[in-house]
Homo-oligomer: A and B are copies of this chain.
């Protein structure tokens, strides 16, 4: 199960790995990563076992599994991008959070004893490099998520704290586009084999194709669009942004408005034209600026 474990708040302490397992926070009693290559990683434990780990608290540069001597924590062989390492890449591709648990032997603010659940992190990036011991290691950048903000209709962006002192200059900031991962969005991507319903493109990554699902009528207030196949499209990132920003709309005959072409709809996709109609009305208003 991905995300918080119900009833287990951030900061909860556990006596040992068995207790973590019993609570469902981190299920393996030995492995540092709980995950499957084809599904993603649910949780990781940081407990000082890898010489290359770099724990900055809110950001963790996490070393993948394998090639590690348990006694010394040193690398004695190359790591491969398989199994649980591959699972962490799947979190990037699908945008899944990973639970982070810190143990008493960790480097950054460890609990006095046992283990502590430290909340959800985003897997932001991955790459291979030669570790301190000369072997190839896979590394993952984990970034802590705002736990207290865990709400279905919320998304965050992170402005920088730097202040230029001048007005009305814009300060540098981190922003983000919303991409939702739900059973329905996974289903629509499978149906189209990750191909964009507008341009037919798909992004081929080393660990599988990438596409985005767009809710036609947005989720949440005031639109309250449903999270159903009737209300979702499989799009490439560019057409997703273009759809959300009203660069194009779709007519009842599925012809595109605002650019050439038409929306391809799979026979098994029960798309509801009334949602496209609602988007089209918003599109028309956005273009009718006087």
Contacts and interface: CB of A to CB of B under 8 A. Distances in A.
**Size category of the binding interface on chain A:** 35 or more
Contacts of A21: none
Interface string A169-185: 11111111111111100
Of A143, A165, A186, A282, the most chain B CB neighbours within 10 A belong to A143
A170 B1 contact: yes
A268 interface: no
A236 interface: yes
Contact of A95 (B81, B175, B207, B242): B175
| Stoichiometry, copies per complex | 2
Given A3-B173, A175-B180, A155 B152 contact: no
B143 A146 contact: no
Nearest to A204: B247
A171 B6 CA distance: 12
A257 interface: no
A107 interface: no
Contacts of A80: 289-290
Interface stretch (A67-75, A110-118, A156-164, A269-277): A156-164
A23 interface: no
Nearest to A239: B238
B245 A203 contact: yes
A194 to B, nearest CB: 12
Contact of A146 (B40, B139, B148, B173): B148
B149 A176 contact: no
Interface string A182-214: 110010000000000000010111110010000
Contacts of A239: 238
A196 B203 CA distance: 16
A264 interface: no
A32 interface: no
A170 B161 contact: no
B180 A174 contact: yes
Given A149-B149, A178-B174, A206-B246, A155 B156 contact: yes
A159 B2 contact: yes
Interface of A: 1-4, 6, 24, 36, 39-40, 42, 54, 56, 58-59, 61, 80-82, 86, 92-97, 120, 122, 124-129, 136, 139, 141, 143-146, 148-183, 186, 201, 203-207, 210, 218, 220-222, 227, 236-242, 244-247, 258, 282, 285-290
Given A1-B166, A237-B241, 9 more contacts: A3-B173, A6-B165, A59-B153, A82-B289, A97-B173, A150-B161, A170-B183, A205-B247, A210-B242
